């Protein structure tokens, strides 16, 4: 079935996710949707699958204008989506998961269902055991279950969001072979990815998205990786960075650091980095390549496997979080509302999060509320932040929250700032404010480790830049040799 | 289209008004039900009022009932403030009573030391019983809802064993209770009333908790841990240690309630010293929004409802209807609470999209 999405716009309270994106895919092809995180790929596909309604724009399917009011309507019309995080019920068997939501009689016919599913799976070359509970299956098997679910509903348009992010290379190959055969059978297959190589290898056509728009659609066979990388990250000029007050002494030294991951033995392996006073060292990379674990290990939130971290010559690799804060490590976490702030508390209460035990905020363990309020009022006035004093901070906009968090972290005179995606989800104005705050800290001589998935941000702010891929760090690039296509290739796991 | 969404928090006064409205609604609904079952609502309600507060005796009985409710309520409110679901106040109350009774029944100490010792042992008994589930919670993240709940049954059975076995009153013909405590082990009555001195525990602990939570650095830590444990770890707070301290204190306060019951009310330990105070405590603490003084106020209201219900039964209304009224009150207050944090939006259709541009040919 032809898919045509015309001029789709979708704005969320904090951000415009899609800004007039147009996309088209045909039956019989495997079509890849490529772009950096935040480019709008998933939002666009969620709109096609009926999870979101577009603010403006049109959805055309098989030559007909469609207007979904719910995902159920999209499913009935033949659209199926496998989400990045699978929507399966782990304690239930494959068969029960697949029968779930299928039109059928009131009684669940487990045995008949299992037979039917087994035959169906064989026909599509998607081997799974219908009687196995889902929690026992590997990620690759779960994905096959998700695909089977779409096929059982006779979906003609198959959408897969980052299908290889949980698969081994072998499983990925099998998956792409399956997708190809499904496309040959007349279905339209769309998959979202940010991995350049796999897109060029597995897709017939590639649509590149950036900043909420689809900027080009290319034939995968006739395209060079460098060109696609350049399209993906954009071609804007690297703007001049305010001159640093000469690179200072080495402040943060990360020495052959390895850090365990949540689901794999090592999320960070053998990383060595030096951040100097008055310098911003940028870490580029696609999410999930060990950046978060690196930041947490520096801040003390995650134990390290081997190697060490030193701050101003003193080893802190095994120090407590509290000791590291006292030594001058500030962390701007990825999740500002649930890690960096207490959503149900006021701005004043959030500002003392790391200094509540010290004078003048408390004495002999008793809080000095008037002082806490006065300091908060001063800080908020200085930053011109219009924050109501009694409101819980979860009601603030993302930009205001982030500036509040920055005010606290930078206000405690840190030696090192570890910042993770500090402008994610912020509008342009708020992002500029965050950038300015980081540059001010830089000119005060703070050593900053800036981890971001937004390459533009890194090119604006970083004095030097390294790319993280699969837990390892590439060579560190000096600012004068910043080169988007090359960085793009490094991010996609290539060598350059 | 009807949509329910969270709203900005209402000012505290509006929340209280809303809840009182909920109580009024409950009695309104109760009146409908009473009428439908052939009872006149007004006399029934007057009976309830008389039973709860109609005489100084009734008032004093309400206060006596409110003491264990308020203490256990304060204990669990403290745990909830730290994000810990202590469902075990019932067991902690029982173990506090148990340890206090052990001293009262066995220790040949000078009489004047007995009461302070009983108070201390009540606190310790509850604290130890709460630490038992707190340690695995702090070390391994074991779900404390289940462990605290299950330990309630262990505590109850333990007391059963004691009062049927080693502590059984030899003159009681195997009724499940111990010998009566000596006078020195009994909490005195407050001058000129039927209220035992355990009532004094309530304001002392409510004031201490208010101060600790609101005005100390430790209390700030507890509030951060309860509202956002990840932020607490990020800020370098000693979360595991705080979990142990909070659970021990929470249990200690419940244990004190148990000591008050055996030493102030019953005068011995027996089977069923608590008709579920520790469970009502959970509802009381939440209805009070976990505020210490609010918990005391709600506990008094709860005690009035219980005693009023007894009075209703003696005037011929079936017991089931009395419990139904209690449930109605709870239910309406909880519903009114929901509307304190949410609002319902009714809108017709969905927001209009921009007019469609001219029809487009298929690409």
Same domain, yes or no: A330 and A453? yes
- What is the rounded distance in angstroms from the CA atom of residue B285 to the CA atom of residue B40? 33
* pLDDT tens-place string over residues B110-146: 888 899 999 999 999 999 999 999 999 999 999 999 9
What confidence tens digit (pLDDT) does each residue in B44-68 have?
889 889 988 889 999 999 999 999 9
Note whether A463 and A372 are same-domain residues: yes
Give how far the C-alpha of residue B334 lies from the chain's centroid of Cα atoms, to the nearest Å. 15
Measured CA to CA, the distance from residue A392 to residue A344 in angstroms comes to: 5
**Gap from B353 CA to chain A (nearest CA, Å):** 6
Cα(B103)–Cα(A137) distance, integer angstroms: 58
| CB–CB contacts below 8 A, A to B | 88
List A271's β-bridge partners, or say none. A257
| CB within 8 Å of B280: residues ≥ 6 apart | B69, B72, B73, B302
Domain residue limits, chain B: 70-316
Q: Is residue A444 part of a domain?
A: yes
CA distance A226 to A9: 29
End residue of a domain, out of A208, A233, A258: A233
Residues A292 and A420: beta-carbon distance below 8 Å:
yes
Q: Which tokens is A106 given?
A: 């009131």
Q: Nearest-CA distance from A71 to chain B in Å? A: 16
Closest by CA position to B81, among listed B189, B187, B232, B257: B232
Task: Tell me if A241 is assigned to some domain.
Answer: no
Query: Are residues A148 and A214 located together in one domain of the fold?
Result: yes
Mean pLDDT of chain B: 89
Residue B4: its H or E element: strand B2-6
The Cα B169–Cα A468 span in angstroms is 75
Asked if B235 and A352 come within 8 Å (Cβ–Cβ), the reply is no
Tens-digit pLDDT profile for residues B166-223:
998 888 777 889 999 989 899 999 988 999 999 999 999 999 999 999 999 999 999 9
A364 and A413 in a single domain? The answer is yes
C-alpha closest to that of A16 among A433, A421, A425, A420? A425
Instruction: Give the gap in angstroms from C-alpha A56 to the nearest C-alpha of chain B.
Output: 6
Which CA distances in Å does B188 have to A138, B182, B264?
Answer: 67, 12, 7
Going by C-alpha positions, the residue among B146, B122, B123 that lies closest to residue B133 is B146
Chain B's closest residue to A369, CA to CA, is B215
The closest CB to that of B216, out of A54, A341, A366, belongs to: A366
A234 to each of A27, A39, A285, B35, B201, how far by Cα in Å? 30, 11, 15, 75, 69
Q: Is A67 helix (H, G, I), strand (E, B) or coil?
A: coil
Phi/psi at A392 (5° precision): -65, 145
Fill in the DSSP letter of residue A102: S
Q: Among A53, A340, A367, whose Cβ lies nearest the Cβ of B220?
A: A367
Between CA A424 and CA A38 the distance in angstroms is 8
Residues A24 and A144 in one domain: yes
Distance from CA of B207 to the nearest CA of A (A): 15
A124 shares its domain with A220? yes
> What pLDDT score was predicted for residue B363?
36
B178 or B340, greater pLDDT:
B178
Closest residue, chain B, to A1 (C-alpha) = B362
Are A235 and A483 spatial neighbours (Cβ–Cβ below 8 Å)? no
**May I ask the CATH architecture of the domain B70-316?**
Orthogonal Bundle (1.10)
User: Does A423 lie in the same domain as A470?
Assistant: yes
Closest CB from A55, A58, A342 relative to B227 = A342
What is the pLDDT at residue B348? Answer: 58
One domain, residues A163 and A59: yes
Q: What sign for the dihedral angle of Cα B212, B215, B217, B222?
A: positive
pLDDT band, very low/low/confident/very high, at B255 (cuts 50, 70, 90):
very high
Question: Collapsing DSSP states into helix, strand and coil, what is residue A218?
Answer: strand
DSSP for A253-295, written as a single string: EEEEEEE--SSSS-SEEEEEEEEETT-EEEEE--TTSSHHHHH
Say yes or no for a CB contact (<8 Å) between B363 and A353. no
pLDDT band at B91 (very low <50, low <70, confident <90, very high): very high
Contact between B233 and A344 using a beta-carbon 8 Å cutoff: no
Asked whether B189 and B43 are in contact (CB, 8 A), the reply is no
Q: Is the dihedral of CA B277, B278, B279, B280 positive or negative?
A: positive
Residues A487/A474, Cβ–Cβ less than 8 Å? no
Task: Report the alpha-carbon angle A261-A265-A269, nearest 5.
Answer: 75
Residue A52 with chain B: CB contacts under 8 Å: none
Residues of A in Cβ contact (< 8 Å) with B219: 367
Please judge whether B231 and A352 are an interchain contact, meaning their C-beta atoms are less than 8 angstroms apart.
no
Residues of B in contact with A61 (CB under 8 A): none
Q: How far apart are CA A192 and CA A37, in angstroms?
A: 11
Verify that A419 and A477 share a domain, yes or no.
yes
**Closest to A57 in 3D by CA, of A16, A15, A4:** A4
User: Which of B236, B350, B362 faces A325 most closely, judged by CB atoms?
Assistant: B236
Verify whether the Cβ–Cβ distance B362 to A299 is below 8 Å. Answer: no
Mean per-residue pLDDT pooled into runs of 10, chain A (496 residues): 92 79 94 84 92 91 89 91 88 88 71 84 85 84 90 92 78 88 93 83 91 89 81 64 73 95 84 94 86 94 94 93 95 91 93 92 92 90 79 82 92 93 77 88 93 85 91 88 81 70
- Same domain for A214 and A321: no
Interface of chain B against chain A, CB under 8 Å? 8-9, 215-221, 223-224, 227-228, 230-231, 233-237, 350, 353-354, 356, 360, 362-363
Domain carrying residue A171: 3-233
Rounded to the nearest angstrom, the minimum Cα separation between B42 and chain A is: 43
User: How far apart (Å, rounded) are the C-alpha atoms in residues A268 and A289?
Assistant: 8
Question: Which of B1, B210, B212, B217 to mutate to probe the A interface, most A CBs <10 Å?
Answer: B217
> For residue A167, is it within any domain?
yes
Report the alpha-carbon distance of residue A334 to residue A351 in Å, rounded.
18
B8/A391 touch (CB, cutoff 8 Å), yes or no: yes
CB contact under 8 A, B233 and A321: yes
List, for residues A299-341, the tens digit of each pLDDT value: 999 999 999 999 999 999 999 999 999 999 999 998 888 899 9
Which of chain A's residues have a Cβ under 8 Å away from the Cβ of B237?
322
Task: Locate the chain A residue with the closest alpha carbon to B235.
Answer: A354
B358 — pLDDT class (breaks 50, 70, 90):
very low
Q: Compute, in degrees rounded to 10, the torsion defined by CA atoms B107, B113, B118, B121.
A: -80
For residue A65, the distance in angstroms to the closest alpha carbon of chain B comes to: 9
User: Mean pLDDT across the stretch B275-303?
Assistant: 92
pLDDT of residue A104: 67
Assess whether A227 and A269 both reside in one domain: no
Q: How close B64 gets to chain A, by Cα (Å)? A: 34
pLDDT of B314 > 90? The answer is no
Asked whether the beta carbons of A146 and A88 are under 8 A apart, the reply is: yes
Exposed / middle / buried, residue B287 (Cβ in 10 Å: 0-12, 13-18, 19+): buried
Burial of B334 (0-12, 13-18, 19+ CB in 10 A): middle
Statement: residue B354 has pLDDT above 60: no
Whether residue A240 is contained in a domain is answered as no
Is the predicted pLDDT of residue B1 greater than 50, yes or no? yes
Stated as kind and residue range, the H or E segment containing B342 is strand B342-346
CA A86 to chain centre: 17
Asked whether the beta carbons of A167 and A160 are under 8 A apart, the reply is no
Residues of B whose CB is below 8 A from A369:
215
Q: CA distances (Å), B197 to each of A288, B111, B150, in order?
A: 61, 17, 31
Is pLDDT above 70 for B164? yes
Residue A410 in any domain: the answer is yes
* Chain A positions in Cβ-Cβ contact with residue B220 (cut-off 8 Å): 349, 352, 356, 367
- Please give the full DSSP string across A450-478, using - where no structure is assigned: EE-S-HHHHHHH-SEEEEEETTEE-PPEE
- Structurally, chain A folds into a number of domains equal to 2
Query: Which chain B residues contact residue A392 at CB under 8 A?
Result: 9
We report the CATH number of the domain holding residue A168 as 3.40.50.300
- Chain B CB contacts of A395 under 8 Å are 8
In a domain, A238, yes or no: no
CB-closest option in A338, A341, A356 to B220: A356
pLDDT of residue A141: 86
B4 contacts B344 by C-beta, under 8 angstroms:
yes
CA distance A459 to A476: 13
Chain A partners within 8 Å of B221 (Cβ): 356
Beta-carbon separation of A339 and B217 below 8 A: no
E strand segments, A156-278: 157-161, 188-193, 205-210, 213-219, 250-259, 268-276
How many other C-beta atoms can be found within 10 angstroms of the C-beta atom of residue B123?
23
How close does chain A come to B141, measured CA to CA in Å? 16
Q: Would you state the structure tokens that stand for residue B133, as one six-digit string?
A: 């589930």
Query: CA of A139 to nearest chain B CA: how many angstroms apart?
Result: 27
Domain end among A205, A233, A261: A233
pLDDT per residue over B5-45, tens digit each?
667 667 778 888 888 888 899 889 989 988 988 888 898 88
Give the global pTM.
0.77
Decide if B184 contacts B114 (C-beta within 8 A).
Answer: yes
Chosen from A31, A214, A357, A419 to mutate, greatest number of chain B CBs within 10 A: A357
Whether residue A243 lies inside any domain: the answer is no
What rounded mean pLDDT belongs to chain A? 87
Query: φ and ψ at A152, to 5 degrees?
Result: -65, -30
- Do A288 and A227 have their domain in common? no
In chain B, which ranges are continuous DSSP H helix? 12-36, 41-53, 56-81, 89-106, 111-140, 144-164, 201-215, 217-227, 229-234, 239-260, 277-287, 292-314, 319-341
Greatest Cα pair distance, chain B, in angstroms, is 101
Shortest Cα distance from A86 to chain B (angstroms)?
A: 25
Do residues A285 and A259 lie in contact, with contact meaning Cβ atoms separated by under 8 Å? no
Tell me if A245 is assigned to some domain: no
Find the length of chain B: 363
Kindly identify which residue of chain A lies nearest to residue B224, measuring between CA atoms. A342
DSSP state of A493: T
Q: How far is CA B238 from CA A321, A412, B84, B115, in A?
A: 10, 20, 15, 35
Scan for tokens 């716009």, then name that residue.
Answer: A9
Partners of residue B218 in chain A, C-beta under 8 Å:
365
Q: What is the DSSP letter of B261?
A: I
Is the Cβ pair B236, A341 closer than 8 Å?
no
- pLDDT (mean) for B320-345: 81
- Whether residues A365 and B228 touch (CB distance < 8 A) is answered with no
For chain B, give the percent of residues with pLDDT over 70.
93
In tens, the pLDDT along A226-273 reads 788 778 777 554 566 666 656 789 999 999 999 998 767 888 999 999
Q: What is the pLDDT of residue B351?
A: 43
Query: Quick one: closest CA in A to B217, which residue?
Result: A365
| Residue where one domain finishes, among candidates A201, A233, A265 | A233
| Residue from the list A58, A341, A391 with its beta carbon closest to the beta carbon of B356 | A58
**A60 to B215: CB separation less than 8 angstroms, yes or no:** no
Residues of A whose CB is below 8 A from B230: 335, 338-339
Q: What is the Cα–Cα distance from B31 to B209, expressed in whole angstroms?
A: 39
ipTM exceeding cut-off 0.85 for this assembly:
no
- Measure the CA–CA gap between B191 and B187, rounded to whole angstroms: 12
């Amino acid at each position: 079935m032809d898919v045509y999405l015309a001029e789709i716009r979708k704005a969320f309270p904090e951000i415009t996710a899609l800004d007039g994106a147009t996309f088209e895919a045909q039956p019989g092809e495997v079509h890849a949707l490529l772009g950096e995180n935040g480019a709008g790929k998933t939002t666009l596909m969620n709109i096609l699958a009926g999870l979101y309604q577009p603010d403006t724009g049109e959805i055309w399917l098989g030559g007909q204008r469609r207007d979904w009011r719910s995902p159920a309507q999209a499913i009935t019309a033949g659209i199926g989506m496998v989400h990045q995080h699978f929507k399966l019920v782990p304690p239930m068997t494959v068969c029960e998961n697949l029968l779930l939501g299928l039109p059928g009689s009131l009684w669940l016919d487990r045995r008949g269902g299992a037979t039917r599913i087994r035959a169906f799976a064989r026909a599509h070359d998607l081997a799974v055991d219908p009687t196995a509970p889902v929690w026992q299956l590997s990620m690759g098997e779960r994905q096959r279950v998700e695909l089977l679910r779409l096929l059982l509903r006779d979906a003609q348009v198959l959408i897969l969001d980052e299908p290889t992010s949980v698969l081994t290379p072998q499983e990925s190959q099998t998956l792409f072979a399956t997708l190809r055969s499904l496309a040959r059978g007349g279905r339209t297959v769309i998959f979202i990815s940010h991995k350049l190589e796999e897109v060029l290898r597995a897709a017939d056509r590639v649509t590149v998205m950036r900043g909420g728009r689809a900027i080009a659609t290319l034939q995968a066979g006739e395209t060079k990786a460098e060109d696609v990388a350049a399209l993906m990250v954009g071609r804007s000029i690297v703007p001049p960075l305010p001159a640093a007050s000469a690179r200072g002494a080495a402040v943060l030294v990360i020495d052959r650091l390895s850090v365990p991951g949540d689901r794999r033995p090592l999320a960070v392996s053998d990383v060595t980095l030096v951040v100097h006073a008055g310098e911003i060292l940028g870490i580029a990379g696609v999410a999930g390549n060990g950046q978060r674990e690196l930041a947490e290990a520096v801040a003390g939130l995650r134990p390290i496997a081997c190697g060490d971290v030193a701050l101003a010559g003193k080893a802190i690799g095994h120090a407590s979080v509290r000791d590291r804060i006292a030594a001058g490590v500030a962390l701007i976490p990825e999740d500002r509302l649930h890690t960096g702030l207490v959503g149900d508390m006021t701005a004043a209460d959030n500002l003392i999060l790391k200094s509540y035990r010290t004078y003048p905020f408390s004495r002999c363990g008793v809080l000095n509320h008037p002082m806490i309020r006065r300091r908060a009022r001063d800080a908020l006035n200085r930053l011109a932040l219009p924050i109501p004093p009694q409101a819980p901070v979860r009601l603030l906009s993302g930009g205001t929250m982030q500036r509040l968090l920055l005010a606290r972290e930078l206000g405690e005179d840190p030696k090192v700032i570890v910042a993770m995606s500090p402008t994610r989800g912020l509008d342009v104005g708020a992002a500029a404010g965050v950038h300015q705050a980081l540059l001010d800290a830089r000119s005060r001589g703070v050593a900053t480790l800036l981890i971001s998935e937004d390459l533009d941000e890194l090119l604006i702010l970083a004095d030097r830049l390294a790319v993280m891929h699969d837990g390892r760090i590439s060579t560190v690039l000096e600012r004068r040799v910043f080169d988007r296509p090359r960085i793009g290739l490094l991010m996609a796991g290539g060598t350059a | 289209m009807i949509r329910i969404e969270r709203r900005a928090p209402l000012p505290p006064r509006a929340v209280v008004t809303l809840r009182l409205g909920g109580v009024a609604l409950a009695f309104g609904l109760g009146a409908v039900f009473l009428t439908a079952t052939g009872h006149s609502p007004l006399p029934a309600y007057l009976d309830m009022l008389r039973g709860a507060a109609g005489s100084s005796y009734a008032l004093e009985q309400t206060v006596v009932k409110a003491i264990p409710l308020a203490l256990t309520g304060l204990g669990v409110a403290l745990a909830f403030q730290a994000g810990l679901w202590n469902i075990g106040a019932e067991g902690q109350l029982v173990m506090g009573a148990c340890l206090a009774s052990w001293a009262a029944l066995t220790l040949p100490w000078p009489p004047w030391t007995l009461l302070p010792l009983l108070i201390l042992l009540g606190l310790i008994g509850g604290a130890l019983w709460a630490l038992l589930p707190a340690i695995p919670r702090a070390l391994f993240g074991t779900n404390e809802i289940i462990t605290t709940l299950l330990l309630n049954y262990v505590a109850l059975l333990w007391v059963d064993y004691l009062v049927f076995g080693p502590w059984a009153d030899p003159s009681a013909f195997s009724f499940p209770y111990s010998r009566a405590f000596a006078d020195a082990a009994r909490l005195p009555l407050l001058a000129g009333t039927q209220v035992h001195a355990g009532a004094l525990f309530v304001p002392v602990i409510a004031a201490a908790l208010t101060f600790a939570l609101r005005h100390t650095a430790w209390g700030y830590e507890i509030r951060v841990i309860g509202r956002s444990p990840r932020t607490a770890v990020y800020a370098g707070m000693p979360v595991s240690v705080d979990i142990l301290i909070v659970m021990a204190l929470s249990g200690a306060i419940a244990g004190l309630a148990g000591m008050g019951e055996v030493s102030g009310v019953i005068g011995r330990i027996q089977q069923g010293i608590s008709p579920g105070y520790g469970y009502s405590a959970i509802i009381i603490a939440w209805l009070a929004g976990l505020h210490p003084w609010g918990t005391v106020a709600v506990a008094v209201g709860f005690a009035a409802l219980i005693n009023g219900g007894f009075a209703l039964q003696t005037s011929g209304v079936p017991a089931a209807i009395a419990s139904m009224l209690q449930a109605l009150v709870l239910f309406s207050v909880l519903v009114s609470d929901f509307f304190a944090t949410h609002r319902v939006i009714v809108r017709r259709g969905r927001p209009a999209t921009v007019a469609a541009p001219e029809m487009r040919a298929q690409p």
